[in-house]
Structure 1
Amino acid sequence: MADPVKPKIEKSDAEWREQLTPEQYHILREHGTERAFTGPYWNSSEKGLYRCAACDEPLFYSDTKFDAGCGWPSYFEPVKPGAVTEHRDASYGMVRTEIRCANCGGHLGHVFPDGPKPTGLRYCINGHSMVFEPEA
């Protein structure tokens, strides 16, 4: 796992609360999770780019999205190396790999080693942590 990296964008708690919706704030800043099959994009198949809802940084292309059947949008790789950072998450009595936006440090979700080829990874992402930019 990557060592913790200081995000490039830093704002006060008040600034984040003003900018983000309550759902976005809970997920991105408080490391929350939306319920499966309730957030945006879990069943979307539109072509385009998924960006961080906090800082607009590109995160995932739609052509890396796949239906994992888990109720959250899932991707087999980020838009580029270094777009997300990995962190050890030992919450809820298990050890997982948390994924955060490398630009602002916002919590996105987790990555698991049960995805499709070519990477074998499943980036399981909270829909409220992203905004979607349709393909032109």
Structure 2
Amino acid sequence: MSHDTDRTTPYAVSLSDEEWRQRLTPAEYHVLREAGTEAPFRGEYTDTKTPGVYSCRACGAELFRSDTKFESHCGWPSFFSPLAEDRVQYIEDRSHGMRRVEVRCANCGSHLGHVFEGEGYPTPTDQRYCINSISVRLTPDA
């Protein structure tokens, strides 16, 4: 996993701050565009087991499949890998006195959550993509 630290990456979907505010609810805007975090155990997809695809709530890019979602009991939806590495962008995050890796939508730059490694979950990648429910939208399989 490479960690991109260039915050000036041009995105396929690039809107002005005002356009994002018109497109998103205030809560969505706070998480997606200001890198906020929703409260744990409150997001609509925390315990969802519905088969389907999770897409970026801001731009609609497909990011994760339900078959990579697992129970981490951390309070947010957890996935062990994105649909493809080019779907997400990794940015080193040194906020809150710790080193974390932020995960953003590679299509629009919206904040999705963070990825953690080496926590010992029994997944194929030993990674936990801790994603805010409000950052994604589930489209159930037909």
Q: TM-score, normalised by structure 1?
A: 0.96
Q: Which residue of 2 aligns with 1:122?
A: 128
Runs (5+) with no aligned partner, structure 2: none
Identity %: 50
Runs (5+) with no aligned partner, structure 1: none
Q: Which residue of 1 aligns with 2:113?
A: 109
- Looking at structure 1, the residues matched to 92 and 10 of structure 2 have their Cα atoms a distance apart, in angstroms, of 15
The answer to whether the 8 Å contact 1:116/1:122 transfers is no
- Looking at structure 2, the residues matched to 75 and 85 of structure 1 have their Cα atoms a distance apart, in angstroms, of 15
Q: Which residue of 1 aligns with 2:4?
A: 2
Give the deviation of 1:81 after TM superposition.
1.9
Give the deviation of 1:8 after TM superposition.
1.6
Q: Which residue of 1 aligns with 2:95?
A: 91
Number of residues of Structure 1 aligned to a counterpart in Structure 2 = 136
Q: Which residue of 2 aligns with 1:131?
A: 137
Q: Which residue of 1 aligns with 2:15?
A: 11
The answer to whether the 8 Å contact 2:5/2:92 transfers is no
Q: Is structure 2 residue 72 aligned with structure 1 residue 68?
A: yes
Q: TM-score, normalised by structure 2?
A: 0.92
| Cα-to-partner distance string for 1:54-93 (whole Å, 9 max, x where unaligned) | 0000010000000100010000000112110100101111
Alignment RMSD: 1.0
- Looking at structure 2, the residues matched to 134 and 38 of structure 1 have their Cα atoms a distance apart, in angstroms, of 20
- Looking at structure 2, the residues matched to 31 and 88 of structure 1 have their Cα atoms a distance apart, in angstroms, of 13
The answer to whether the 8 Å contact 1:76/1:116 transfers is no
